[in-house]
Structure 1
């Protein structure tokens, strides 16, 4: 074999197959879902719901921790910031889902990431709080971050800022990052249900749920009222232990709820089974709840299968409930 042929073969190996390269380039970075079709209204909605993370404490490939963004006009409202969820913003540089935002370098930024609401302080819901506070300052946030959550939220935020003080000071001393306002944080704790935030686009109210041995003053869901939708985000909860939950969800167009496999849960050792039922809600319980609430769409997230196939869990939930239901995946955009 001559030297020219050897060099040609080596170059092809380094470049890879043109077909493979093309398929990677064409792979969708996020999946858009038609809300009007799912809800049976045929309408176009200005509200977008983006699942930045749909996972649980159980580590799974292609699943970040819990995080849901609601986008109205040019404003973004983020609910929870689980492990790896903030990195998924890298998929939305086209400006079609989140507001278009350019850095001085010309690269896409994320200066719109300035409003965060925490349901509770389980690690799979808060491990990316540092990324929310720190990285999006570097990526263009011009004003303070506003973080709302139950007691303990202020200590969490303070710990992030104090633990990263050396890095923050280094950045503030740089000619490229002399934006002190963007690293300031306004933390607002609440320990009772009620309205926690309102602006020209949304009203966000918190309602209490029961989640394991957490104090109910520290575990919440949210009701988000936008110009064209009412969205309930349950957080983690036990249906059988949460009083009057159907009243808290009443009037919701969309309910975003955790769901756990009853078949998988039954196979757990007794102590773990009891723990899970005190902290989470099975598809059987969820179907009974939704039969009372009757939303236009039920979206399942934080899916705990305990070994059962997701497709089997979804089929059973659909059969039990009968309404429009889907299990969310990371980077699904409902619009």
Structure 2
């Protein structure tokens, strides 16, 4: 997998504002387009930010209305566009009941199949070149975070070494890169480890969904390339964060620090911080020394390959 790109469709908590839509995030993983949450108005944001509508799967963190009601209109739009291949929807219970209602709302049936799958902590969804893992988190209702883990990448092919060993250029190079041994014309066997370096780790993207700071997410986010963590409140709203089972920006940054992530992006902001999230950013930077920023609608981030 070469491309791993995120586009934030909505970064507001609970209600939309003039500047921020409700929760929604697309992830482009090579040819796959994934959707994480789909708040009301998400499809308009997809048009606005040019993500396209070719979503293969949608993952819901939980079923508070601001995280999933947008799927109703999105499904109808896909039907009007003539979609025929299946769309897979994933989320924690009661995903089957609530998403079934969304699929069948209205008098017109959809032109394409919709598969609904319930996930629990520890479940995984295998895709081409990567896996999406579900992580149980701490919110007021049943909720999940997600880890998109890229497969380990093949080691570097040492061209000069292969030539030195007499491997002819062409199909033999490809075999060695695929892990197959090659027998030369003189009977010598060249093994992949003779010319290919050790495998390289894949990238890891972690999406918290709505949650209090929790050990399960810290464990799942260890050494992640990017943690996208909710930061609904600031320090002076700590009591409200505890009451609603959300996180402050400082707490999100503490999760990032304890997990040793490489980069942190804060999202899901209370309307109090709609146009000026500087307080959140400042408090997060006091806890986490790595790169940290506050997401805005339309923010696009590409994760580079690991060396």
Match among 229, 236, 243 for residue 275 of structure 1: 243
Hey, what does 1:38 align to over in structure 2? Answer: none
Q: How does 1:208-227 map to 2 (within 5 A)?
A: 208-212=136-140, 214=141, 218-226=142-150
Q: Which of 287, 291, 294 is equivalent to 2:253? A: 287
Q: Shift in Å at residue 305 of structure 1?
A: 6.1
Do residues 303 (structure 1) and 269 (structure 2) align?
A: yes
Aligned to 1:137: 79
* Correspondences of 1:175-190 after superposition (within 5 Å): 180=111, 182=112, 184-190=113-119
Classify 1:49/1:119 alpha carbon distance in 2 versus 1 (closer, same or farther; 3 Å).
same
CA deviation after TM superposition for structure 1 residue 92, in Å: 4.5
2:161 maps to: none
Give the length in aligned residue pairs. 251
- CA apart distance, 1:280: 0.8
* Per-residue CA distance 1:184-229 (angstroms, 9 max, x = gap): 2110112x322331121320010101102x2xxx211000013552
Alignment of 1:79-228 (within 5 A): 79-93=36-50, 98=52, 110=53, 112-164=54-106, 166-168=107-109, 180=111, 182=112, 184-190=113-119, 192-212=120-140, 214=141, 218-226=142-150, 228=202
CA distance in 1, matches of 2:84, 2:212: 39
SS in 2 for 1:68: strand
Gaps of 5+ in 1: 1-44, 99-109, 173-179
| Residue 244 of structure 1: how far off its partner (Å) | 4.1
Go from structure 1 to structure 2 and tell me whether the alpha carbon gap of 1:305 and 1:84 turns closer, same or farther (over 3 Å shift).
Answer: closer
Identify if the C-alpha distance between structure 1 residues 326 and 250 changes in structure 2 by more than 3 Å, giving closer, same or farther: same
Larger proportion of helix: 1
Query: Do the aligned residues in 1 keep the contact of 2:203 with 2:225 (CA within 8 Å)?
Result: yes
RMSD: 2.3
Aligned 8 A contact 1:264 1:307 in 2: no
Matches of 1:56 and 1:76, distance apart in 2? 24
Structure 2 regions of 5+ residues with no counterpart?
152-201, 303-307
How many Å separate the matches in 1 of 2:241 and 2:229?
20
What is the DSSP-based 3-state SS (H/G/I as helix, E as strand, rest coil) of the residue aligned with 1:143? coil
Whole-angstrom CA distance in 2 between matches of 1:90 and 1:305: 24
Cα pair 2:234 2:279 within 8 Å, conserved: no
Q: What's 1:256 paired with?
A: 228
Contact 1:195 1:203 in 2 (8 A): no
- Check the 8 A contact 1:113/1:141 in 2, yes or no: no
Q: How big is the shift at 1:265?
A: 0.7
Note the C-alpha offset of 1:133.
Answer: 2.0
Q: Look up the SS of the partner of 2:268 in the other structure.
A: strand
Q: What is the alpha-carbon distance in structure 2 between the residues aligned to residue 146 and residue 62 of structure 1?
A: 30
> Contact conserved, 1:153 with 1:189, CA < 8 A, in 2?
yes
